A = this chain, B = another copy of it.
Amino acid sequence: MNIVIVGLGVIGGSFAMGLKKAGYDTVYGIDTNMETLLKARKQGYILDGDLDGAALLNKADLTILCIYPHSVPDFLRAHKQDFKHGSVITDATGVKSALANQLESLLPEGVDFVPGHPMAGREKMGFDFASDTVFKGANYLITPLSKNKEESLRLVESVAMDLGFKRVRRISPETHEMLIAHTSQLPHALAVALINSDREGRETGQFIGDSYRDLTRIARINGALWSELFLSNKDFLLNAIGDFSVQLNLIEDALRREDKDQLIRLFETSTARREKLDS
């Protein structure tokens, strides 16, 4: 099976490394950066690479798009004639609904697009930060389209399991968007707001423990990508921020009223939920 990865950034690069480790040996890469392609080939992660890729795409049985959400429709449009008949395309973007509604018109006949979301990433960008361990034990979400063939879904699922993901789940794009707002975009908003709320000139770095380090890790964020992710999931994210604010207000009120019992109740709820998460 020929696999073409489009975009050898931190995610696409990790796909290349993970596939190699899993024994897939006909993997190719498309990237706009020649240096990245040369490096990936030199390190043995791709057999060959190309800046544009028409020639590679028409021999690909599976194409994995590891590019920005807004680039996915552009890429499909530009290469509509290049995809191999009977092949499968999947993506790795963190928002699924917007694309799902455009796909019908973007895809050529006989090519099946399986929307996917590997729930793993790094704060740092680029091929140099890719690794074959980033996917280990992580969750992989697929939001099938009604016209997807069962065998296409199974292909993407089996590649995901080979890459070391712990679990692949099929869900609707709407459920995906609602949950991701809470589990992914909201945490990024909180991390950004936390570190931005520090006051200038306080030498904060000398007064921190692990908790501050952990909670602000993702405040180092790819602004171009995450502004897209936030905006394309605007309504669910605003809801998630609203739900969060209700809970923060409960803590604030209990504090203001010096209601120790209420604080303890809130802490007991959070402790029970966190323990369940690990179980």
Contact = CB atoms under 8 A, between A and B. Distances in A.
A206 B267 contact: no
A214 interface: yes
A86 B77 CA distance: 81
Chain A contact surface mostly: helix
B231 A195 contact: no
A270 B217 CA distance: 10
Contacts of A202: 179, 182
Given A220-B275, A226-B263, 9 more contacts: A182-B198, A182-B204, A192-B267, A194-B244, A195-B277, A197-B247, A220-B271, A221-B270, A245-B245
Contacts of A186: 194, 197
A135 to B, nearest CB: 10
The residue among A139, A209, A250 with the most chain B CB atoms within 10 A of its own CB is A209
A130 to B, nearest CB: 16
B205 A247 contact: no
B277 A208 contact: yes
A39 to B, nearest CB: 24
A277 B263 CA distance: 30
Given A179-B204, A190-B190, A216 B277 contact: yes
A151 interface: no
B167 A227 contact: no
Interface of A: 119-121, 138-139, 141, 167, 169, 176, 179-180, 182-184, 186-199, 202, 204-224, 226-228, 230-231, 234, 237-238, 240-241, 243-248, 250-252, 255-256, 258, 260, 263-264, 266-271, 273-277
B256 A195 contact: no
Nearest to A204: B183
A41 to B, nearest CB: 30
A29 B250 CA distance: 39
